[in-house]
């Protein structure tokens, strides 16, 4: 048997060997936190004989969960899926629980059924806007976004609309209460849960239904929570409920890395753990294995200016390393060029190093992208618009959601007139008013109105055609038709595909490609035996940081997205007052401390080299006048003996990026040297591969892992197969893809149009495509 305690320091070993009872691991940055969690799981399974499925490990992102799953699999061996522990995000875990065992919730939440839909924040926003319309509110005085965050906060504090009514002192506050109440009512009407509800309702269910609670305590005898400092109060309660009968809970966190206060992360959860669990064991991991001494000292010096901390001092055996580079650009373009230039030089000397450029706000990425393009360096932007947020993809998903449950008013309204079918604003508003008056869903009101024949002839005709269409799709969805077939049917029957095909604008071509990619994903999902609901769940739960590709040489991402990651070289850009720390935190000491922690997180991502950059002037948006800015206070907090001021290198280009912006943009369109990829499809494929593997643990435990390598992982070319020679696209054929360009067919599964092809595209990696949808041409 493998010795899971080897290569661990005494504190890590102590944490790994702790078996029963509460455990708090205070793990500094780079102290081997993930290592401890994964080794502890392996140790429990192999040395303590704990069945894998009795262990639940919870993380915040799918990315972290996936990585952990992989590392655990490497430790305990992939061969036997029955022994796999459940490693999941909070939200996925709750969805899973509610889908499987959520029935008792119907007592607490009238109308709830297990096939609820999930509203993501675009859906939530749409819902708020619907409410505004029905109440005749304008969104000037109460911006929908801020209302949404107020509601979310309230829900996480377990406040109800009634609480709002009670304490409402002015008209604005009582209006807020009305909106809140309406919001909740409409969610229920649509049998929809928002992200907060996923957690909240799970907590309510476990709190009130003893049988379910006991069953889950029994099922998961060991609970582990990663990034514990970022849990909110509801997640905390979930933890308590899942461990009432055994208290076998190990949490790992670092108060210096708590950066989600704005979404309800409650630092008390970590500061009070010892009080809530008096018998808790506390272990500190203070040896850092990641960074050089200079980097570690600089980061520690910055964060030591905070008052709200338990206090610890990380140490390392590593040498000092390179000094920390500090660069002052005269404007943001110059800063970006410096970064690109330095990266270019570094990668020439150390081609193996991965580089990350971290920034406070997503908007900063553009200039850096443009500078990198000038140097012809490939990069990957993490964040920004994700695949599932694109208009056409959202539309298609809305059709799927509406087909699954027409009562989902947000989805129904999204697509009621897309493509245009003569149902205008006036008609929609009429139906909305009716729905509000009768207290029913939009769909119900629509059908009632049609039956009563109270509409104008024109509206009547348009709406009844629409009702017929949705009815038909609903029937198709209920018949258990495979997801990609249903989607295909939708695109044809609704005329959506036609609409795009007849649109001459260049985006519509890209949109069609995206829909084809979605079809591919759906086909994959169907092949794994997933239901429509499962497909939709996944789409709602994937997040932006899940796109991160470890192999990319240069990654651009926000500091928030960088949590939990490490890179040999890190640039922390835009260290200016008002940007980092962000202006929004100016008047709150707590918020400022959070900014400082964020800075600490950013700095400690670096292994070998760290650069801190800022600009003396920056334009807030495109055409506006440049505004002068001042170096961030965090820069002053870095001891000067650790830093080295860098100047312009004479080989650095001094072009005016702003002036040639137009040209650069044209280049992007031609896709000449951008390395930007939206590889969410890869993640979808990978996700489904993992899901399939997990599902097999219940049915056919000895089955081999899913065929075919996950597309995003670097994989050796699959072995040649005889079947691959039939049909037009055989192995080795060079083809042309509308988006990825020229590629080579490596593998083929199935025949004819339904064949699935694994194709290698230089610059994009391996893609798995369904021949029918991919739009491939044989390259002569």
Q: How far is the CB of 292 from DNA (least distance, A)?
A: 27
SS3 state at 404: helix
Residue 758 annotated as catalytic:
no
- Euclidean distance between CA atoms 558 and 183, whole angstroms: 31
**With binding defined as CB under 7 A, does residue 61 bind DNA?**
yes
- Euclidean distance between CA atoms 109 and 204, whole angstroms: 10
Q: Which residue number, 26 or 332, has a Cβ lying nearer to DNA?
A: 332
Instruction: Say which residue the tokens 């509460």 belong to.
Output: 22
Q: How far is the CB of 361 from DNA (least distance, A)?
A: 4
**With binding defined as CB under 7 A, does residue 586 bind DNA?**
no
- Euclidean distance between CA atoms 756 and 751, whole angstroms: 8
**With binding defined as CB under 7 A, does residue 96 bind DNA?**
no
**Catalytic, out of 196, 201, 226, 595:** 226
Q: Which of 82, 145, 158, 433 binds DNA (CB under 7 A)?
A: 145
Asked if 739 and 774 count as a contact pair (C-beta separation under 8 A), the reply is no
Angle at 392 (CA atoms; ends 390, 396), nearest 5 degrees? 115
Part in contact with DNA (CB under 7 A); list of ranges 31-39, 209-217, 295-303, 582-590: 582-590
Q: Which residue number, 263 or 691, has a Cβ lying nearer to DNA?
A: 263
Asked if 190 and 408 count as a contact pair (C-beta separation under 8 A), the reply is yes
For the chain, count helices (H), then strands (E).
Answer: 31, 22
- Euclidean distance between CA atoms 656 and 333, whole angstroms: 8
Please, what is the end-to-end C-alpha distance for the chain in angstroms?
55
**With binding defined as CB under 7 A, does residue 167 bind DNA?**
no
Size of the site for DNA (CB under 7 A): 50
**With binding defined as CB under 7 A, does residue 394 bind DNA?**
no
Residue 33 annotated as catalytic:
yes
Which residues between 105 and 124 bind DNA (CB under 7 A)? 121
**With binding defined as CB under 7 A, does residue 762 bind DNA?**
no
Residue 194 annotated as catalytic:
no
Q: Which of 106, 135, 215, 363 binds DNA (CB under 7 A)?
A: 363
**With binding defined as CB under 7 A, does residue 1 bind DNA?**
no
Which residues between 700 and 739 bind DNA (CB under 7 A)? none
Q: Which of 166, 211, 453, 621 binds DNA (CB under 7 A)?
A: 621
- Euclidean distance between CA atoms 260 and 257, whole angstroms: 9
Q: Which of 42, 203, 515, 541 binds DNA (CB under 7 A)?
A: 541
Element (DSSP H or E) covering residue 746: strand 741-749
- Euclidean distance between CA atoms 188 and 242, whole angstroms: 26
Q: How far is the CB of 725 from DNA (least distance, A)?
A: 44
Tokens of 431: 């139906």
Part in contact with DNA (CB under 7 A); list of ranges 36-44, 90-98, 317-325, 507-515: 90-98
Asked if 345 and 324 count as a contact pair (C-beta separation under 8 A), the reply is no
**With binding defined as CB under 7 A, does residue 451 bind DNA?**
no
Asked if 383 and 413 count as a contact pair (C-beta separation under 8 A), the reply is no
**With binding defined as CB under 7 A, does residue 262 bind DNA?**
yes
Q: How far is the CB of 756 from DNA (least distance, A)?
A: 29
SS3 state at 353: coil
- Euclidean distance between CA atoms 164 and 175, whole angstroms: 10
**With binding defined as CB under 7 A, does residue 641 bind DNA?**
no
Residue 654 annotated as catalytic:
no
Which residues between 125 and 144 bind DNA (CB under 7 A)? 129, 143
Q: Which of 101, 335, 544, 749 binds DNA (CB under 7 A)?
A: 544
**With binding defined as CB under 7 A, does residue 458 bind DNA?**
yes
Which residues between 506 and 535 bind DNA (CB under 7 A)? none
SS3 state at 167: helix
DSSP secondary structure, 469-536, as one string: HHHHHHHHHHTT--HHHHHHHHHHHTSHHHHHHT--SHHHHHHHHHHHHHHHHHHHHHHTT--HHHHH
**With binding defined as CB under 7 A, does residue 417 bind DNA?**
yes
Q: Which of 6, 279, 307, 426 binds DNA (CB under 7 A)?
A: 426
Nearest to residue 399, comparing CAs of 474, 320, 461, 453? 474
Most distant pair of Cα atoms in the chain: their distance: 81
**With binding defined as CB under 7 A, does residue 466 bind DNA?**
no
Q: Which residue number, 121 or 274, has a Cβ lying nearer to DNA?
A: 121
The residues assigned a catalytic role are 33-34, 226-227, 257, 605
Give the footprint of DNA on this chain (CB under 7 A). 60-61, 89-92, 121, 129, 143, 145, 195-196, 259-260, 262-263, 360-363, 383, 417, 420-427, 458-459, 541, 543-546, 558, 560-561, 582, 584-585, 591, 620-624, 661
């Amino acid at each position: 048997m493998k010795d899971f305690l080897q290569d661990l320091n005494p504190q890590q070993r102590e944490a790994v060997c702790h078996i029963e009872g509460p455990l708090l691991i205070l793990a500094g940055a780079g102290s081997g936190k993930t290592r401890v969690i994964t080794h502890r799981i392996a140790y429990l399974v192999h040395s303590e004989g704990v069945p894998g499925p009795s262990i639940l490990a919870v993380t915040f992102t799918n990315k972290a969960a996936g990585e952990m799953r992989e590392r655990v699999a490497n430790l305990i061996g992939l061969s036997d899926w029955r022994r796999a522990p459940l490693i999941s995000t909070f939200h996925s875990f709750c969805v899973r629980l509610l889908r499987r065992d959520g029935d008792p919730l119907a007592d607490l939440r009238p109308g709830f059924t297990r096939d609820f839909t999930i509203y993501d924040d675009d859906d939530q926003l749409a819902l708020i806007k619907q409410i505004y319309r029905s109440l005749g509110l304008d969104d000037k005085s109460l911006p929908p976004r801020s209302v949404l965050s107020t509601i979310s906060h309230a829900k996480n504090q377990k406040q109800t609309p009634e609480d709002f009514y009670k304490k409402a002192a002015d008209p604005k506050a009582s209006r807020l209460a009305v909106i809140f109440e309406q919001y909740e009512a409409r969610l229920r009407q649509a049998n929809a849960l928002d992200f907060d509800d996923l957690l909240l309702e799970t907590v309510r269910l476990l709190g009130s239904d003893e049988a379910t609670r006991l069953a889950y305590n029994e099922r998961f005898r060991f609970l582990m929570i990663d990034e514990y400092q970022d849990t909110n109060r509801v997640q905390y309660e979930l933890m308590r409920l899942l461990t009432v009968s055994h208290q076998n809970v190990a949490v790992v966190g670092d108060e210096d890395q708590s950066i989600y206060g704005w979404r309800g992360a409650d630092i008390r959860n970590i500061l009070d753990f010892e009080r809530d669990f008096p018998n808790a064991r506390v272990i500190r991991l203070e040896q850092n294995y990641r960074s050089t001494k200079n980097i570690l000292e600089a980061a520690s010096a910055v964060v030591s200016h905070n008052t709200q901390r338990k206090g610890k001092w990380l140490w390392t055996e590593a040498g000092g390393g390179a000094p920390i580079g500090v660069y002052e650009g005269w404007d943001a373009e110059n800063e970006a060029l410096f970064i690109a230039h330095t990266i270019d030089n570094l990668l020439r000397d150390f081609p193996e190093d991965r580089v990350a450029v971290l920034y406070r706000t997503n908007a900063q990425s553009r200039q850096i992208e443009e500078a990198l393009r000038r140097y012809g360096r490939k990069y990957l932007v993490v964040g920004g618009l994700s695949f599932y947020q694109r208009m056409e993809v959202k539309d298609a998903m809305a059709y799927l959601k509406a087909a699954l449950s027409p009562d989902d008013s947000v989805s129904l309204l999204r697509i009621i007139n897309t493509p245009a079918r003569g149902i205008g604003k006036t008609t929609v508003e009429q139906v909305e008013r009716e729905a509000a008056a009768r207290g029913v869903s939009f769909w119900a009101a629509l059908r009632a109105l049609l039956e009563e024949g109270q509409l104008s002839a024109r509206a009547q005709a348009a709406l009844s055609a629409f009702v017929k269409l949705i009815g038909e799709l609903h029937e198709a969805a209920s018949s258990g038709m495979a997801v990609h077939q249903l989607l295909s049917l939708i695109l044809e029957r609704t005329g959506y595909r036609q609409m795009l095909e007849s649109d001459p604008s260049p985006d519509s071509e890209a949109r069609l490609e995206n829909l084809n990619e979605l079809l591919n994903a759906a086909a994959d999902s169907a092949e794994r035996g997933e239901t429509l609901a499962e497909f939709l769940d996944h789409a709602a739960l994937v997040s932006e940081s899940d796109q991160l590709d470890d192999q990319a040489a240069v990654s651009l991402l926000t500091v928030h997205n960088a949590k939990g990651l490490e890179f040999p070289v890190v640039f922390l850009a835009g260290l200016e007052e008002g940007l980092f720390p962000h202006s929004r935190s100016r008047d709150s000491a707590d918020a400022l401390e959070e900014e400082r922690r964020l800075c600490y997180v950013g700095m400690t991502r670096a292994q070998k080299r760290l650069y801190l950059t800022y600009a003396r002037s920056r334009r807030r948006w495109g055409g506006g006048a440049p505004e002068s800015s001042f170096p961030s206070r965090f820069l002053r907090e870095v001891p000067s003996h650790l830093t080295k001021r860098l100047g312009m290198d004479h080989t650095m280009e001094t072009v005016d990026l702003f002036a040639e912006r137009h040209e650069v943009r044209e280049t992007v369109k031609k896709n000449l040297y951008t390395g930007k990829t939206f590889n969410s499809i890869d993640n979808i494929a990978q996700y489904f591969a993992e899901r399939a593997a997990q599902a097999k643990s219940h049915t056919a435990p000895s089955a081999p892992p899913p065929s075919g390598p996950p597309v995003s992982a670097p994989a050796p070319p699959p072995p040649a197969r005889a079947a691959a020679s039939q049909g037009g696209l055989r192995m080795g054929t060079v083809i042309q893809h509308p988006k990825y360009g020229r590629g080579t067919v490596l593998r083929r599964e199935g025949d004819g149009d339904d064949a699935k092809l694994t194709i290698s595209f230089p610059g994009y990696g391996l893609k798995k495509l369904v021949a029918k949808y991919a739009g491939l041409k044989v390259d002569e």
